[in-house]
Every structure is written in C-alpha cells, then in structure tokens.
Structure 1
Amino acid sequence: MIVTVLLGLAASGLLGLGFVAQQHAAYTEPLGEMLHPRLLLDLIRKPLWLRGIAAMIFGQVLGALALQRADVARVEPLLATNLIFALAVAAVAYRERLGRWEWLGAVLVSGGVAMFLLSGQPQGGGVPGSTSVVWVAILATLILAAVLVLVAVRAALPVKAMLLAAAAGTLYGIQDVLTRASLVTLERAGQGLTGLLTIWQPYTLLVVAVLGILLNQSAFDAAPLRVSLPATTAAEPVIGIVLGVAILGERLRVDPLALAGEVAGLIALVAGIVILGRSPFLAKSERGTHRRPGRER
C-alpha cells in the first residue's frame, strides 16, 4: 500500500508540473485553433510544451505502475492531488508564499482523498466483464464527453474552458481504467508487454489519450490554469472510480456510514480543487504572455 501511495503521489507531482508547462505554452495560441488538430501541430514546436508533455508521460507511467498494484478506486484519488503540485510549482516559480485559501484547498483535497480511501476501502476488481458491458460503459462516457464539448462550443470563453477541461478529465478517467484493464488482462494471461498488441484495450486507450490531450490543450488555450485545470482534476477521479466499479468489478463499502464518508470525501476533494483552482498563483501563468493575433481577451 505504501509503495502504491508513493507511486500515485509521484505521478501526481509530474502531472501537475506537466500541466503548468502545457498551459503556459497553449495559452499563447489563437482561439481559432481550439478543438483543431492544428493546435497540437503548433504546440509540438514549442520546447516548453514538449517538456510539459514529457513530464505528463512520465507521470502516467508511474500512474500505470500504481494501477498495476492497486485498484482504480484506490489510485484515482491520489492522482487528483496533481493540482496541489501545480500550485506548489507556481508558488516557487513566482517566489510567493501560500495564503490561507491555498492551505484550505490543500487540506480539503488531501483530507478528501484520505476520507474516501478510509471510508470506501476499495478493493477487488480484475479482468473486465463481458465485452458488451464494457463497451456500453465506455460509449456512455464518451457520449457524456461529446455533450460537454457540444455545449462548450456555444458557451462563453470561461465556461468553454471549464467544459472542455471536464470533457478532457472524462476521457482521462477512461484512459486510467483502460490502463488498469490492459495490465490486469496481461497479468492474468501470463503474457509480456508484446501481449498488448493482441488485445483491444491499448488501441482504444491511444485514441482516447490523443482526444483527451486535444481537449485539454484547447481548454488551456481558452483560459488561465485557474479556470481550465480544476474541472479536469475533478472529473478524472470521479469517472475513473465509476468506470472501475462498472467495468472492472471493483467494490466499495456500501454501508450507510461508509457511503456518508465516501460522499463527504468526494465533496471535500471537489471543493478543494475549486478553491485551489482559483488561487492567484495559478492566475499568474498568464502574465507576461504575449497573445498572437486573433486572441480574444
């Protein structure tokens, strides 16, 4: 358990660092490139963005190692602390001390994670159930993400950023479950990494990951990190936990006391993410950024 927690927190730290770098680079892109593959083609030429992607990839590798050792419902809340690390990076970069609201947000996020884990005691889970059930769950989640994007297209810029970020977090939740499903399937079949080529999950995971990155960069393009990151951070663990239960058969305690603790933990987690997302440290990622022609203010 200790190793899993350390892997999850290390993964979260790298994810937070990667998100800060990605948003700083993506925010300078024209609004007209949102939701267009051209946005990724432009960003791939920026060294800062590439370093941010590298940090995110290493974070996802550590997250995969954590998922190999534990259930999705146990790892997802740990990954949700990436916003704390993003806040810390911003504070160090701008040489300012954290205020009371940042500490409150950090306590709520950390306390929410601990409360959820202690109350739910997630366990079990294994090879995905019937293919039809798996695909129904995945398609339903993809439809949810698509609805968020469709609403975002017609929304004002701040709302657009939040909705696109939530859609990205939804896809990241699918990605986490597919990662766990791939690793468990290979482990049960006694196959090595080459066995990834013989199952469908990695291919679906790759498509979902690319779409998630496009949505996330579009959210980063639309608004500062304080607006664009919290929704991603909140949506990913919720979707991941729900899909972990639906697809992998993971189990949470369901007695009244446990349910109350789980709900309270998730509420605290989301509230902490919202508070941290409004931190002035994260807002400063937009200062000194020169907007390209066509950028709305």
Structure 2
Amino acid sequence: MSVLVLALALGAACCLGFGFVLQQNAAQRAPLSDFLSFRLLIDLVKVPRWLGGIALMVVGMGLGAAALGQGELSLVEPLLATNLLFALALSRKQTRQPLGRQGWAGLFLLAGGVTAFIVAGRPEGGAATADPVRQWLIIGVMIGLALLLTTHGKRSRLSSGPVLLALAAGLLYGVQDALTRVSGQKAADGGFAELLTGWEPYAVLALGVTGLVLVQSAFETASLRKSLPALT
C-alpha cells in the first residue's frame, strides 16, 4: 500500500468527518418545512458554520479523488469510511457526552473491519474495462434502492427517516466515488476534453447535489450518532 494513498485517504476522511459535524450543527437548526427540499440548501448557505463544513467536505472530496486516482477503489473506500471516527471524536468534544459502550463498540468494529479488510483481504484492481450491461445494472440497482429508501424515509422523518435518508445518500455517494474514479482515469488518458464529452462528470455532480439534500435532511432531524453511521 502506497504511503501517499494512505495519507490522502486518511486526510480526506479527517476533512469529511469534521465537515459533517459542522454541517449537522447548522442543519439541526434549519426549519423542518425545508425537509427534503432544495430550499434547505438555500437556507443553509447563509450559515457560516455550514459553509465551513462544506468547504472541509470539498477538500475531503478532492483528497479522496486524488487517492482514488492513485490507488484502488477497494482500498481507498474502506479508508474513507474512517471519517466516522473523526466525526464522532469531534462531536464528543463539542457535546461532552460520552459515547457509551455501544458507541465505542461501533468505533472499534469499524476500525477493526477496515484493518482486517485491507490486511487480510488484500484488495486489488479488477479488469481495466467493465461490461456496460453490468455497470448500468449496478448503477440502476443502487439508485433504485436510494429512491425506495428516500420514499420510506419521507413518510417517517422523525422516527426511522433520518437513518433511511442517510443510507440512501450513502448509496449515491458510493456510486459517485466509483464514477469519480472512472472520470479520473478518463482525464488521465484523454485529457479534460475527453472527460467533458462523457456523461460521468455530470452524473458525479447530480449525485453529489442529490446526496447533499438527503444528508442535510437527515442531519436536520436526527443527531450525528444516529445519521452518520448509516451514511458511512
């Protein structure tokens, strides 16, 4: 495993985790009438703390894209998942609330799972080209599941809704990261001209904005400890 890839991925996870905490701090004060609406983003963009969280997330996504460009998706993604560790550490310092046995158990399971996957699984790259039918099938299933979860989450926004919305956003962000990897390869092979003629960068943007609305709606209606693990 490259030290550069490790540093980029963990740096991205740190920025993402801290950014999520700032976003949740701001989103929980937003009016509930903005739930699952693009108006929520319009309201939040006026809050400096939220903008700071978005800035950290953008930096994290940039570092994550660099890591994905240098390393394999199956290696980088588990490292990015450690953003939960950084987020809960900062959230605990802010609220001064103990994580409890369940919280600590979850953190150790995440850290242990990532370590075991990388060390024992030895993830390696797959084929250079993918079957288009298989690719579209996977994308369709992920987006379909996200839509189904969002529909159910909208009906139960104050009970299980935040977890379902965060899970839906996590599915979309997973597809987004995979397409980011593809976009990086296209840019490296054919330059930005070839990149801009493909559909992938526009799909990355659309998935990012949609996922952002879902995440902020989850943050608006639940604590970070309830919503972020599902997203991660």
Higher RCO structure, 1 or 2 (CA under 8 Å, sep 6+):
1
Say if 1:71 and 1:159 are closer, same or farther in 2 by CA, change over 3 A: same
The residue number in structure 2 matching 1:242 is none
The residue number in structure 2 matching 1:17 is 18
Amino acid of the structure 2 residue aligned with 1:178: L
The answer to whether the Cα contact below 8 Å between 1:67 and 1:75 also exists between their aligned partners in 2 is: yes
Q: How does 1:1-297 map to 2 (within 5 A)?
A: 1-94=2-95, 102-125=103-126, 127-155=128-156, 157-187=158-188, 190-233=189-232
The answer to whether the Cα contact below 8 Å between 1:128 and 1:134 also exists between their aligned partners in 2 is: no
Say if 1:139 and 1:98 are closer, same or farther in 2 by CA, change over 3 A: closer
The answer to whether the Cα contact below 8 Å between 2:84 and 2:229 also exists between their aligned partners in 1 is: yes
> Displacement of 1:102 after TM fit?
4.7
Q: Give me the whole-angstrom Cα distance separating, in 1, the residues matched to 2:98 and 2:183.
A: 42
3-state SS in 2 of match to 1:191 = helix
Tell me the matched-pair count: 231
The answer to whether the Cα contact below 8 Å between 1:35 and 1:214 also exists between their aligned partners in 2 is: yes
Query: What TM-score does the superposition give when structure 2 sets the normalisation length?
Result: 0.92
1:157-206 CA-partner distances (Å, limit 9, x unpaired): 1300000000011111011100011112333xx33334321221101111
The answer to whether the Cα contact below 8 Å between 2:27 and 2:44 also exists between their aligned partners in 1 is: yes
What are structure 2's unaligned runs of at least 5 residues?
Answer: none
1:221-274 CA-partner distances (Å, limit 9, x unpaired): 1111111111001xxxxxxxxxxxxxxxxxxxxxxxxxxxxxxxxxxxxxxxxx
> Displacement of 1:100 after TM fit?
5.7
Say if 1:49 and 1:128 are closer, same or farther in 2 by CA, change over 3 A: farther
The answer to whether the Cα contact below 8 Å between 2:157 and 2:221 also exists between their aligned partners in 1 is: no
What are structure 1's unaligned runs of at least 5 residues?
Answer: 234-297
3-state SS in 1 of match to 2:159 = helix
Q: Give me the whole-angstrom Cα distance separating, in 2, the residues matched to 1:225 and 1:98.
A: 12
The answer to whether the Cα contact below 8 Å between 1:126 and 1:184 also exists between their aligned partners in 2 is: no
Please tell me the root mean square deviation across aligned C-alpha atoms, in Å. Answer: 1.9
Q: Give me the whole-angstrom Cα distance separating, in 2, the residues matched to 1:35 and 1:96.
A: 29
> Displacement of 1:119 after TM fit?
2.3
The answer to whether the Cα contact below 8 Å between 1:128 and 1:181 also exists between their aligned partners in 2 is: no
Q: Give me the whole-angstrom Cα distance separating, in 1, the residues matched to 2:99 and 2:150.
A: 34
The answer to whether the Cα contact below 8 Å between 1:127 and 1:184 also exists between their aligned partners in 2 is: no
Amino acid of the structure 2 residue aligned with 1:231: A
Q: Give me the whole-angstrom Cα distance separating, in 2, the residues matched to 1:97 and 1:136.
A: 43
* The structure with more radius of gyration: 1
The answer to whether the Cα contact below 8 Å between 2:186 and 2:194 also exists between their aligned partners in 1 is: no
> Displacement of 1:138 after TM fit?
0.8
Q: Give me the whole-angstrom Cα distance separating, in 2, the residues matched to 1:127 and 1:171.
A: 23
The answer to whether the Cα contact below 8 Å between 1:18 and 1:55 also exists between their aligned partners in 2 is: yes
The answer to whether the Cα contact below 8 Å between 1:152 and 1:164 also exists between their aligned partners in 2 is: yes
Q: Which runs of 4+ in 1 moved over 4 A?
A: 94-103
3-state SS in 1 of match to 2:74 = helix
The answer to whether the Cα contact below 8 Å between 1:127 and 1:181 also exists between their aligned partners in 2 is: no
> Displacement of 1:96 after TM fit?
7.0
1:68-107 CA-partner distances (Å, limit 9, x unpaired): 1111111111111111101221233356777665544332
Q: Give me the whole-angstrom Cα distance separating, in 2, the residues matched to 1:148 and 1:196.
A: 31
Q: Give me the whole-angstrom Cα distance separating, in 2, the residues matched to 1:96 and 1:137.
A: 40
